[in-house]
Structures are given as C-alpha cells and as structure tokens.
Amino acid sequence: MDLELTETQALVVRTAREYAERVIRPAAADLDREERFPREILQGLAELGLMGVNVPSALGGAEAGVVAYALAMMEVARACASTAVTMSVTNMVAEVISRFGTEEQRARYVPRLCSGEYAAGSFALSEPEAGSDPGSMRTVAERTEDGWVLRGQKQWITSGAYAGVFVVWARTGGPGTRGLSAFLVEGGTEGLRAGKPEDKLGLRASNTVPITLDDCRVPADALLGSEGEGFKIAMMALDGGRIGIASQAIGISTASLEAGVDYARQRKQFGHAIGDYQAIQWMIADSRTELDAARMLALRAAYLKESGAVFSAEAAMAKVYASEAAVRITNRMVQLHGGYGYVRDFPAERHLRDARVTTIYEGTSEIQRIVIARHALR
Ligand code: CAA
C-alpha cells in the first residue's frame, strides 16, 4: 500500500476540501440548528463529481476510486456530518446500481444520482422490527401480470423524503436471507410514502424517515439483480458503505480535535494556556493517535476494495474502530472545552451529537464485531 496519494486522489481531496471550507463548513451550524436538508450544497457536491466518486465516468461518475472516495468523505464530514451521510448513502446507491443494474437501469438512474438531478439516493433495508437482522424483514413483493407490488414498512431511511431513487428490499421467496430481492423504486411512485422525519440527537440536517409501501406497483424491470439475490447485494453494498461511515467518523473526529487544539492554545487558566497542562495534552495525544489509527484502517479497507480484494472484515474493523474512536474523541473535546463544550456557541457539542450515530447505523458496533470474528474463525 502506497501512502502517497496519486494525482487523482490529491485532486479529489483538494476539490472536496476547498468546497467544504468555502461552502459547507460556514453553513453547518445553521443547517443543524434549523434542521435544513442541504439541497443546494448537495447539488454543488454533485457538480464536483462527489456523488459518484467511485462510479464509472461513462455513467457520469468521477471514476476516481475508493481511496479517493474515502478521502473526500473525510473532508466533507469534517465540515458537516449531515451533508456527509447524505453523500455517503447516495454514493452507495449509485455504486450498487452501477454494479448490479442492467444496462438500462444503470443508464436511467446512475447519471441522475451523480449529476444532482436527483437530490439523493436512498437505501431502504431496515424495518421497524428488522434492523441488525435484515433476514427477518416483513416487506413483501408479489408478482403481478406486468411487474411487482410491494407492501411493507421501512425505517430509518436516510434522505427518504428527497430521494430520486430507492433501493428497496422485499421478500419474494421463503423465510430468511435467501428469500429477499432488491428493487429500484423511483421517488414519487404511487404507494411509496415518506413519514414524519425523525427528531434525532445529531445529524439534524440529514433527513431520516420511515417509508410506507402501500400497494406500491413497480414494473418487472425494477428488480435489481436476480430474484433471491437481494441479501447478498445488501451485504456487498454495506461492506463498501462501512468504509464511507468510517470516513465520516474520521472527518467528524478531525474537526473535533482541531477545534479542541485551537481552544487549548487560546484558553488560559491559572496563568497558562490549558494546552500547557499534561491532563489536556494527554487528551490531545490519545485523540491524535486514535484518529490516525482509524484513518489507516479506513484507507486500508478502501485500498483493498479498490484492488478487487475481499475487504468485508477490514471494512468492519475500520467502521467499528473509527466510530468508537469518534465517540471517545468528541466526548474528550467537549470535556476539554469545559462549559463551552456544552453550549451551541462552539461546535464541540455538535461533533459529539453527530459522532454518536456512527456506532449504530450501517451495522452497529456489535454487528461489525460479528463480521470480524466470523472471518477470523472460519
Ligand atoms: N458479501 C457477500 N455475501 C455475504 C456477505 C458479504 N459481505 N455477508 C453475508 N453474505 C452471504 C453469506 O455468504 C450467505 O450466503 P449463502 O446463503 O449462500 O450461504 C448469506 O449472505 C447469509 O449470510 P449470513 O448467514 O452470514 O447472514 P446473517 O443473517 O447471519 O447476517 C450479518 C449476517 C453480518 C449479521 C448481517 O445481517 C448484517 O450485516 N446485519 C446488519 C445490517 C446493517 O448493517 N444494516 C444497516 C442498515 S442500512 C443503513 O444504516 C444505511 C443508512 O441509511 C445510513
């Protein structure tokens, strides 16, 4: 693994950082406070190629690879974690359609996701009673004369009120993971309804809704991949998605640590900058070390995926470590800020709120450990 960035990777990082610093970061606190979906900011990301970083250029993507994608996610998340999760899920949807879609499905949806014509893409796997265990889902898809009819309830759907296209998982066969299939459902399809946005602890500018599928009719060619292949498609998409969430956690940690270091330099108590005290230095040292370790794990997983190697366990290691480190780092930085860490005038509390979900979504820490252990034991 080469630690030097290629020209393409460096260009993607510069592009993402410039846009994040100039446009996203100044808006982040207001977006959070107002719970405002960052529609125009997402359009800007699309125009820079950041909604399909690892998607073939023939389909409108940047074709810059997985490492570039991870690095871009880190930059965007450093500025605004809500924008980053929307970008992450949209990239995941564009990639999964590029990989498993027919020529027609790819041509229909991927350019629209990459160009920003669609504000976002959604990944509709979880249900109220099927989170860590998607194999127990209850949503069904029944064949009709000319297609499929979907019935069920989805939960925690990122960007569900704004998505141009959803990947929806439903049961087409018997029980368990082998009975599931994936479908592409366009936003606005009759019978697909987004519910009330969740009132979340963090990521308040991202949109998270339940989705009801009420006799939602889709054509025969809405099936993504083969019938019964849905669970594997979901798992493969999530392996990649977990690199995105690890990178998001790293971006949040970076911003949090930078704010903490600034504060430690400026804040004086007992006649000294608080950064002169060992208690504060240890917080900074531990955080820097954990952040770099997380970064190495995430880039290794990205590199393996880009090389075409098996990377499920490495993506899970990156996700569990980076997300748990993000919670520790952002919590420490709140502590370092004292009372100022607890109020909205400083970004420290937002970083902690935003970091918290990274150990939960796209597979909880407990699920990542199952994946890692199964790979080690088999
Ligand atoms: N790649 C390819 N195939 C895979 C795979 C992978 N990574 N993981 C499993 N499979 C295959 C297995 O080989 C097996 O194949 P066969 O049927 O041919 O034997 C099949 O899938 C079933 O596998 P398991 O028996 O391992 O399945 P399981 O029920 O024990 O579940 C699990 C495994 C890892 C726990 C899985 O259920 C899991 O990852 N759960 C977490 C779900 C999750 O991450 N949800 C996130 C929601 S999306 C989200 O949060 C997005 C957002 O909007 C932010």
| Ligand 1 in reach of 178 Cβ (< 6 A) | yes
Residue of 89, 132, 231, 365 best suited for mutating to test ligand 1, as the one with most atoms within 8 Å of CB: 231
Please write the tens of the pLDDT for every residue from 177-221.
999 999 999 999 999 999 999 999 999 999 999 999 999 999 999
Catalytic residues: 362
Q: Among the atoms of ligand 1, which is closest to the Cα of residue 208?
A: 53
| Ligand 1 in reach of 132 Cβ (< 6 A) | yes
Q: Report residue 293's pLDDT band, with 50, 70 and 90 as the boundaries.
A: very high
Which structure tokens are listed for 65? 């690879």
pLDDT for 79 equals 98
Please write the tens of the pLDDT for every residue from 232-285.
999 999 999 999 999 999 999 999 999 999 999 999 999 999 999 999 999 999
**Separation of 6 CA from ligand 1 center, angstroms?**
33
CA end-to-end span of the chain, whole Å?
26
Please write the tens of the pLDDT for every residue from 257-266.
999 999 999 9
pLDDT for 42 equals 98
User: What contacts 297, CB < 8 A, 6 or more positions away?
Assistant: 246, 314, 317, 318, 321, 322
Residue of 154, 157, 177, 229 best suited for mutating to test ligand 1, as the one with most atoms within 8 Å of CB: 177
Which structure tokens are listed for 194? 């987004």
Q: Among the atoms of ligand 1, which is closest to the Cα of residue 126?
A: 47
Whose alpha carbon is nearest atom 6 of ligand 1? 235
| Ligand 1 in reach of 123 Cβ (< 6 A) | yes
**Separation of 237 CA from ligand 1 center, angstroms?**
10
Whose alpha carbon is nearest atom 12 of ligand 1? 232
| Ligand 1 in reach of 360 Cβ (< 6 A) | no
| Ligand 1 in reach of 239 Cβ (< 6 A) | yes
Q: Report residue 93's pLDDT band, with 50, 70 and 90 as the boundaries.
A: very high
Q: Report residue 123's pLDDT band, with 50, 70 and 90 as the boundaries.
A: very high
| Ligand 1 in reach of 362 Cβ (< 6 A) | yes
Q: Please state whether the predicted TM-score (pTM) of the whole model is above 0.85.
A: yes
Please write the tens of the pLDDT for every residue from 20-66.
999 999 999 999 999 999 999 999 999 999 999 999 999 999 999 99
Q: Report residue 2's pLDDT band, with 50, 70 and 90 as the boundaries.
A: confident
**Separation of 133 CA from ligand 1 center, angstroms?**
8
**Separation of 233 CA from ligand 1 center, angstroms?**
9
User: What contacts 194, CB < 8 A, 6 or more positions away?
Assistant: 157, 160, 161, 209, 210, 211
Whose alpha carbon is nearest atom 5 of ligand 1? 235
**Separation of 234 CA from ligand 1 center, angstroms?**
7
Average pLDDT of the residues of the chain: 98
pLDDT for 3 equals 83
Is the pLDDT assigned to residue 371 strictly greater than 80?
Answer: yes
pLDDT for 1 equals 64
| Ligand 1 in reach of 371 Cβ (< 6 A) | yes
Whose alpha carbon is nearest atom 40 of ligand 1? 132
Average pLDDT over residues 297-305: 98
Domains along the sequence of the chain with CATH: 7-119 (1.10.540.10), 122-228 (2.40.110.10), 231-377 (1.20.140.10)
Whose alpha carbon is nearest atom 46 of ligand 1? 362
Maximum alpha-carbon separation in the chain: 79
pLDDT for 225 equals 98
Average pLDDT over residues 159-175: 98
Q: Among the atoms of ligand 1, which is closest to the Cα of residue 236?
A: 1
Rounded Cα distance between 285 and 290, Å, is: 9
**Separation of 40 CA from ligand 1 center, angstroms?**
34
**Separation of 86 CA from ligand 1 center, angstroms?**
22
Residue of 156, 206, 232 best suited for mutating to test ligand 1, as the one with most atoms within 8 Å of CB: 232
